[in-house]
Amino acid sequence: MRSRNDLVDLARQAALNAYAPYSRFRVGAAVLGSDGITYTGANVENAAYPSSSCAEANAIAAAVSAGVRKIDAVAVACIDAPTPEEAYPCGRCRQIMSEFSVDEIHVTAGPGSLVKSHTLDELLPHRFTL
């Protein structure tokens, strides 16, 4: 099992592959699957803005596409944000995390920034399930 810092480092590295020519806001995510393997993603934007996808959604899609159905932890690095307060996952990504029972989320921003850790219950209370 990787440590929180390892997962955050992977998210930071993933952010370097972000395709964000429109927002200039690079995001990377790393997720730890219940298989003990880590998967990464970056945000991928599109000239038709709503066709863009978030880093967390892409990392989770990579894990699920490899057969994972339970994700233990997610790290997200918004390397162009000044502080973690501007780096929290969007609502849609929180709902996607809920689908795969994410336990903990680690959030960080630009170089040298603190890492803030939360449970999914803290970030998405009273969430929708079927």
Q: What is the DSSP letter of 90?
A: P
Interaction of residue 93 with ligand THU, rule CB under 6 A: yes
Minimum CB distance to ligand THU smaller for 1 or for 79: 79
Shortest Å, Cβ 24 to ligand THU: 9
Question: Is 99 a catalytic site residue?
Answer: no
- Beta carbon of residue 54, minimum distance to ligand THU (angstroms, whole number): 3
Residue 25: how many CB atoms within 10 A of its CB?
Answer: 16
Residue 7, amino acid: L
Q: Is 17 in the site for ligand THU (CB under 6 A)?
A: no
> What SS3 string covers 28-51?
EEEEEECCCCEEEEECECCCCHHH
Closest by CA position to 63, among listed 90, 91, 29? 29
Task: Verify binding: residue 23, ligand THU, rule CB under 6 A.
Answer: yes
* Interaction between residue 74 and ligand THU (CB under 6 A): no
Rounded to an integer, what distance in angstroms lies between the CA atom of residue 90 and that of residue 60? 14
Residue 46 near ligand THU by CB under 6 A: no
> Tokens 């960080």 identify what position?
108
List 15, 68, 77, 89, residue binding ligand THU (CB under 6 A): 89
**30, 54, 60, 63: which one contacts ligand THU (CB under 6 A)?**
54
